[in-house]
Structure 1
């Protein structure tokens, strides 16, 4: 139980870091969204490949025999990863932070809870109540900064959320988390040349800062973060995995307060308490029902 909480917490912090890094890079104009996505996926793939080779070498040293690759990912998960990353970057150029986060995590939540309901995963009354409180706290935090979005960016962010929900659900069945994540990133690179071509056609220039932020997003927040998330996912129900991700906007906002000197308000404190408290109740209710 403790290891599951730790893995989940680290992964959620990585997701929040991704939001912060993307926000810093795109809103400052240091890089365009296509280049950011391409560098993010490529650096994530290289980081994960290095981790996979290191893990394989350790296992060979201990057992003195080669370990077979049991999970090479799949094209659907790789496509979901690509769609999530691309739509997230492109949509955030035109959506403000509150609106984009609200659409994204609402889509993730609906996707994963919908999957749970379709597969007849039982939820107790306490869990439904906790889910309602968490979602209410999420809306309470985000709506004051939200504006009516234009149709296309809103649809792109919703598609990004659905893709991330699908990617998370499919991660529950992987036999080797690091292998699956590594190969999914590598598979996604097949589509990266398209991003590079489109970025060159409409070249707007990028700065070293933009490249560094994209690499940090890919190698650290994405590569390491997703591999850890894949470790935590098999230990969580789809409904749990969906509701805990509602904490990411809270963590990202808190990071913005520290890193970007954004204002800390009473509304943020109240919403954080509602969401994190409800998530704890949700998880504890699940533990008692097992």
Structure 2
């Protein structure tokens, strides 16, 4: 028993496996979430995800013990609304795009932010790779591999919200991470639930769908967040960011297994370019924080 505990605390594989598990969990959760779109729509499904995640984190962190000034409360609310908007737009993109492609397009948000904050010549190589990947995905004729333009627009907007989420997250970083995150997710739930009710209505109260929503909340929010905390405590932020760049590929694999979404060779090449751009930017960054997704 003691040897296993020693391995868990000292092995460099523990944070790596935790982060890989986190990405796999969120991608599988999002893939299963897509199966609820016919019954609940994208907004109803994301309302389940954020609300369940918020309830779990509120119970875990008990943030009502935390004193917030009016300014800090405003920052937490902004953080939560940005988080909810990011997830809402991403789920809207999932309604029109394979999950791997949606994640790849969304990744351009934090990548552009990193380049904007750095302004080094090398970083323009990474943004060039990302642009090349996007052009491969979005420019072309009516052959196999062409993607829905509105879906791409939703994913790009989700990427913009991801960049804003990173900036908002830095402003609440000085607060207790778990408590501020749980409060922010609660604010995000209050923001997104009216959209979910407007689209899904009474279907949100269906016991079978509620059980599925609980599973999505666990897979897409609660479990990934917990595993990310394990990884962040033991892993350098640069390594974290490089490994996080694999998420589009993991998402594409999850979509293939759960949803039977098959990508063309052209789309896989485009995803590879976005992964290379994100990993390269993270590997050559100067102490930047990892773009953790909510």
Contact kept, 8 Å, 1:30 with 1:206, in 2: the verdict is: no
Contact kept, 8 Å, 2:203 with 2:209, in 1: the verdict is: no
Matched, 1:129 2:161: no
Contact kept, 8 Å, 2:47 with 2:192, in 1: the verdict is: yes
Contact kept, 8 Å, 2:23 with 2:244, in 1: the verdict is: yes
Distance 1:200 1:265 in 2: 33
Q: Give deviations 1:108-146, integer Å, cap 9, x for gaps.
A: 52x434433443x25463x54355446645765787533
Shift of 1:228: 5.2
Distance 1:208 1:254 in 2: 30
Give the SS at the match of 2:40. Answer: coil
Matched, 1:50 2:59: yes
Contact kept, 8 Å, 1:30 with 1:209, in 2: the verdict is: no
Matched, 1:77 2:86: no
Give the SS at the match of 1:32. Answer: helix
TM-score normalised according to structure 2 size = 0.66
The residue number in structure 2 matching 1:257 is: 256
Structure 2, unmatched stretches of 5+, are 1-11, 288-294
The residue number in structure 1 matching 2:213 is: 214
Distance 1:216 1:5 in 2: 24
Matched, 1:13 2:24: yes
Give the SS at the match of 1:215. Answer: helix
The residue number in structure 2 matching 1:182 is: 182
TM-score normalised according to structure 1 size = 0.66
CA RMSD of aligned residues (A): 4.4
- Counting matched residue pairs gives 263
Distance 1:177 1:7 in 2: 19
Contact kept, 8 Å, 1:69 with 1:179, in 2: the verdict is: no
Distance 2:135 2:212 in 1: 29
Quick one: structure 1 residues 224 and 139, their matched pair in 2 at CA, closer, same or farther if it must change by over 3 Å?
Answer: farther
Quick one: structure 1 residues 262 and 209, their matched pair in 2 at CA, closer, same or farther if it must change by over 3 Å?
Answer: farther
Distance 2:265 2:131 in 1: 18
Give the SS at the match of 1:96. Answer: coil
Shift of 1:4: 6.7
Q: Give deviations 1:202-239, integer Å, cap 9, x for gaps.
A: x67886664344322222312332465577499647xx
Shift of 1:183: 1.0
Quick one: structure 1 residues 157 and 264, their matched pair in 2 at CA, closer, same or farther if it must change by over 3 Å?
Answer: closer
The residue number in structure 2 matching 1:97 is: 98
Q: Give deviations 1:61-112, integer Å, cap 9, x for gaps.
A: xxxxxx966887611111112212223334443x2327x945x643552x43
Quick one: structure 1 residues 116 and 272, their matched pair in 2 at CA, closer, same or farther if it must change by over 3 Å?
Answer: closer
Contact kept, 8 Å, 1:11 with 1:226, in 2: the verdict is: yes
1:115-264 matches, cutoff 5 A: 115-119=113-117, 121=118, 123=120, 125=122, 128-133=124-129, 136=132, 140=136, 145-150=145-150, 155-173=153-171, 174-175=173-174, 176-195=176-195, 197-199=197-199, 210-226=209-225, 229=228, 232=232, 236=237, 247-263=246-262
Shift of 1:184: 0.8
Distance 2:111 2:45 in 1: 30
